[in-house]
């Protein structure tokens, strides 16, 4: 099991200059970094890979950032934008030696509204078709896509592991797996450990943060239940801290971080990775 950190905690957007963070992450005890690439033009993947190697840390995942203009269930233009963007990320991932594209790859974040059942079913068919094509593209490049259920305030499309499993089964690609997040599960699942067990071997990626988006372990989540679930499915993939603070203004607004949750970003990182290693490796 490897432990990583999402770059959104420290910067937005991630650019070539952001590689200075890698040494710091390594010194704090992280094995890996999850890079949020908002625009493929923001980075030179060969340069980023050079600095990853220099710092002795790997890129375990690239986080897809889907705004209103990128949506696999949206207008034809939005669908095209999303496909072009995520294919470009998959191409960069080959150079980065990064195995997984992660996040809510099916729709723009923040699109949450009640729609008639017939409309939802049509959206579902559209996403299935798009994810079949995207998964085929990923498989041809030896990459995988890990699809993340989000809470009800961030999407009306896939909120639970059961819905994610239904989508994976509909797409039927070995390149498509499931990405679970403790923050979203804390809202949507009856039991996080049981959700992990349901995902089983299809669990390809895991986000860990506190119930308030703060430090893992400094919250009310039952981490022993999560540890038991991960052990039961023999999960050995990345565990990535995806916490947010007010420091990165654009992300704070997007994630609704209106107050100081923890003393500092460094405290989240250092204390969080120490807690996760102790709790999930035992």
Residue 146 has pLDDT above 80, yes or no: yes
pLDDT digits (tens, 9 = 90+) for 92-106: 999 999 999 999 999
Q: Tokens for 159?
A: 């909120």
DSSP state of 240: E
**pLDDT score, position 131:** 98
Map out the domains of the chain as residue ranges.
2-280
Mean pLDDT, the chain, whole residue set: 97
What pLDDT score does 282 carry? Answer: 63
Virtual CA dihedral for 120, 126, 131, 136, nearest 10 degrees? 160
Question: 113: pLDDT confidence band, cut at 50, 70 and 90?
Answer: very high
pLDDT 10s digits, 20-35: 999 999 999 999 999 9
Model's pTM, two decimal places?
0.97
* pLDDT tens readout for residues 247-276: 999 999 889 999 999 999 999 999 999 999
Homologous superfamily of domain range 2-280: Divalent-metal-dependent TIM barrel enzymes (3.20.20.150)
């Amino acid at each position: 099991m490897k432990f990583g950190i999402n770059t959104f905690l420290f910067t937005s957007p991630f650019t070539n200059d952001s590689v200075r963070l890698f040494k710091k992450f390594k010194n704090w005890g992280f094995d890996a970094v999850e890079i949020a690439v908002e625009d493929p033009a923001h980075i030179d993947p060969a340069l980023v890979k050079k600095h990853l190697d220099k710092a002795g840390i790997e890129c375990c995942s690239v986080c897809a950032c889907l705004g209103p203009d990128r949506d696999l269930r949206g207008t034809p233009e939005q669908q095209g934008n999303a496909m072009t963007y995520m294919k470009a990320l998959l191409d960069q991932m080959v150079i980065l030696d990064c195995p997984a594209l992660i996040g809510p790859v099916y729709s723009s974040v923040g699109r949450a509204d009640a729609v008639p059942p017939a409309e939802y079913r049509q959206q579902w068919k559209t996403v299935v078709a798009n994810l079949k094509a995207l998964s085929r593209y990923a498989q041809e490049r030896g990459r995988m896509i890990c699809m993340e259920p989000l809470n009800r305030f961030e999407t009306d499309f896939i909120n639970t592991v059961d819905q994610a499993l239904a989508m994976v089964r509909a797409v039927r690609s070995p390149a498509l797996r499931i990405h679970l997040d403790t923050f979203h599960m804390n809202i949507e699942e009856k039991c996080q450990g049981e959700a992990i067990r349901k995902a089983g071997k299809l669990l390809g990626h895991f986000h860990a943060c506190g119930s308030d988006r703060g430090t893992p372990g400094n919250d009310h989540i039952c981490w022993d239940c999560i540890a038991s679930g991960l052990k039961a499915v023999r999960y050995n993939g990345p565990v990535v801290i995806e916490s947010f603070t007010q420091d990165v203004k654009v992300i704070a607004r997007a994630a609704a971080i209106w107050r100081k949750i923890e003393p500092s970003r460094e405290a989240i990182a250092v204390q969080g990775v120490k807690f996760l290693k102790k709790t999930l490796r035992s």
